[in-house]
Amino acid sequence: MSIQVQQLCSKLVTPIYNGDHPPLLTQFVPLSVFDRLAENAYIPIIYAYKPPSPSNTMLEQGLRKALTEYREWAARFSTDNNGHHVIQLNDEGLRFIEASTDRTLDQAMPFTPSTLLSLKPSFNGVNELALVQLTRFTCGSLVVSFSSNHMVADGVLVSQFLVAWGQACRGLEINPHPLHDRSIFAPRGPSRVEFDHKSVELTKGKIKEEYISPDNKPPYSRDDVILHKAHFTPEFIAKLKSKAATSSVSGVNRPYSTFESLVAHLWRAITRVRGLTEFQTTEIRISVNGRRRLKPTVPNEYFGNLVLWAYPAAQVKDLLYESLSHTAETIHQAVLKVNDDYFKSFIDFASYNLQDEDLMPEANSSLSALWPNLEFISWLGFPFSDIDFGVGKPCIFMPSFDPLEGLIYLVPSFAGDGGIDVFITLFQQQLALFEEICFSID
């Protein structure tokens, strides 16, 4: 069921310093090469709480306290004296919207794409770096939408901030504190660019609809894209991992992670659903967090982006007729290559060879589909279940709707069974076949 959401109030929320003198408001934070590689777009997260839910006033006051530690969310993009893009810590504020609807949460479930779009703010003409929308339902339930500009920080840091917001609402000290130093990615001297970053990080991030060959264009339109949730139980995942671990050729067990096994299974299933020809090549884009891959390691609390991507690729015939283990190994090897050497090579490449405008990709708003490719975004290791505003963990947690076919999120399930929820955008004409085969391991 679609719902009507009425906006009641929209204002800017600024940090509160509890009587302390605020810091100087002319401080600039330079964007790192990883920030400038991120898409200049807003990433919305939706989560819901059953009654008794926290009051808007308590949420606002907690947010103001959290912003004293995470000032970048109340900042604005600017340029320094050399024309480089920076974040100006001017405390202008985060957009805070209060809204309501005349439906209960149960009546609105499951969320349709139009409902999801109404539960988050519009990004048209926005210069704030983060936006919050609180939507109240007649049953007392609350849906919180947090949307943040991807150039400011990645999902690892966003999850840390949301936990900190909850701590502030509960009157706790924010712990751990974010690490704000974005200057830690210094290029090496002499520079050692060992990989073809131009054709990977730059070219692959700037695909436009008009550049796609007719053979690789999807059979349906943007209006046909829907969001579907598939729940995978721990028992199914255990069977999947066992199947992936056994090579049909050698019979030797080679364990793969939950992520590798599930992504391999979904890649194969969606390839079958799409009906691609056997000799087409399909690739998947997987974000790789550099915090644990760089040496020395970078703390999870690092405020900024620290992500590059792996691009496993395969011919359709191999996905359809080779083993699950074969597909999992393709994924494993591609991700393995995005290591310390690769990250440092990219830092050298971007620092010495590129200007801001070369790095910054444009938003792919013209794309209706990633066809014949896919993008997997994993939130499996993020502490979203710890987002507690004083009333316990959320009952729903999910991405918002982006009408781009082939975009897939892996999220820890809030069903309480330890499973995984997969949110997938696909064409509605192909949903029935996907539901028929996605829970088949054979």
Domain count, the chain: 2
Provide the residue count of the chain. Answer: 442
Residue type at position 410: L
Least confident of 120-124, 309-313, 342-346: 120-124
CB 85 within 8 A of CB 36: yes
Structure tokens at 374: 């896919």
Is the domain of 143 the same as that of 255?
no
Question: Is 40 inside a domain boundary?
Answer: yes
Name the pTM for this structure.
0.92
Give the residue numbers spanning the domain of 345.
197-381+401-438
Report how far residue 91's alpha carbon sits from residue 417's, in angstroms, rounded to the nearest whole number. Answer: 42
Least confident of 82-86, 157-161, 403-407: 82-86
Is the domain of 138 the same as that of 266?
no
Q: What is the pLDDT of residue 352?
A: 83
Q: What is the pLDDT of residue 213?
A: 59
Q: Tell me the catalytic residues.
A: 150, 388
Cα dihedral: 220, 274, 412, 167 (round 10):
-30
Q: What is the pLDDT of residues 357-392, one digit of tens each?
A: 667 666 555 678 999 999 999 999 888 778 999 989
Report how far residue 429's alpha carbon sits from residue 123's, in angstroms, rounded to the nearest whole number. Answer: 29
Q: What is the pLDDT of residue 363?
A: 57
Specify the CATH number for the domain of residue 426: 3.30.559.10
Complete DSSP assignment for 137-169:
-TTS-EEEEEEEETTT--HHHHHHHHHHHHHHH
In the predicted model, is pLDDT for residue 190 greater than 70? Answer: yes
Report how far residue 363's alpha carbon sits from residue 374's, in angstroms, rounded to the nearest whole number. Answer: 17
Is the domain of 55 the same as that of 150?
yes
**H-assigned helices in 186-257:** 197, 234-245
Q: What is the pLDDT of residues 340-361, one digit of tens each?
A: 999 999 999 998 877 666 676 6
Question: Is 117 inside a domain boundary?
Answer: yes
In the predicted model, is pLDDT for residue 238 greater than 60? Answer: yes
Band the pLDDT of 207: cuts 50, 70, 90: low
DSSP SS3 for 397: strand
Question: Is 39 inside a domain boundary?
Answer: yes
Q: What is the pLDDT of residue 299?
A: 94
Nearest to 168 by CA among 47, 91, 11, 58: 58
Q: What is the pLDDT of residue 325?
A: 94
Q: What is the pLDDT of residue 84?
A: 84
Is the domain of 153 the same as that of 99?
yes
In the predicted model, is pLDDT for residue 442 greater than 80? Answer: no
Complete DSSP assignment for 322-365:
S-HHHHHHHHHHHHHTSSHHHHHHHHHHHHHH--HHHH-PPP-T
Question: Is 203 inside a domain boundary?
Answer: yes
